[in-house]
Structure 1
Amino acid sequence: MDIRIGIINSPREINFESSQTAQEVETIVATALETDTKFVKLVDSKGKLYLVPVSGIGYIEIGSESTRRVGFVA
């Protein structure tokens, strides 16, 4: 699934593909925003950990779980 995070006062965004489900990501972000948590912890499909400060999150876009691959299909 594709995840895109917009950061406040930054022209760039964080974009990565995760093996977590949309529901898991939504739960993690909602819990962090409702409680006094300082960071959101998300893991991409290669195992890289992303720590995003909750105070800096402008938006989070959670894409579809199936992505289209570029290239020929055999």
Structure 2
Amino acid sequence: MEVRIGVRNVAREVVFESDSTPQQVRSAVTEAMSNGSPLIELEDDKGRTVLVPTAALAYVEIGAQEKGRVGFGTR
């Protein structure tokens, strides 16, 4: 699943693929924001840790769990 994180005053998004479910990502972000944690900590599909400061967070876009299909098939 693709996760996009917007950071205030930065032109580029933080984009990575994650093996986490959308609910896990949502709960990690919500927990960090509500607890006053200085960082949001997420893990990508290669095991790397992504840290984003909560004070600079603009938005989090959580992608669909299923990967899109390539081609012209109708199924």
Q: Name the SS of the counterpart of 2:58 in structure 1.
A: strand
Equivalence for 2:53? 53
Note the residue ranges of structure 1 that are not aligned, 5 or more in a row: none
1:25, 1:56 → 2: CA distance? 18
| CA drift at 1:69 | 5.1
Aligned length: 71
Stretches of 4+ aligned residues off by more than 4 angstroms: none
Q: Please show how residues 19-38 of structure 1 align to structure 2 within 5 Å.
A: 19-38=19-38
1:1-74 matches, within 5 Å, as 1-68=1-68, 70=70
User: What is the TM-score of this pair, normalised by structure 2?
Assistant: 0.89
The amino acid that maps onto 2:8 is I
For residues 17-53 of structure 1, what are the alpha-carbon distances to aligned partners after superposition, in whole Å with 9 as ceiling and x for unaligned?
0000000000000011111101011000011110110
In 2, Cα distance between equivalents of 1:60 and 1:43: 14
Structure 1 vs Structure 2 CA RMSD: 1.2
Query: Any gaps of 5 or more consecutive residues in structure 2?
Result: none
SS of residue paired to 1:32: helix
Letter in 2 for 1:23: Q
Identity %: 41
Task: Kindly provide the amino acid, as one letter, of the partner of residue 62 in structure 1.
Answer: I
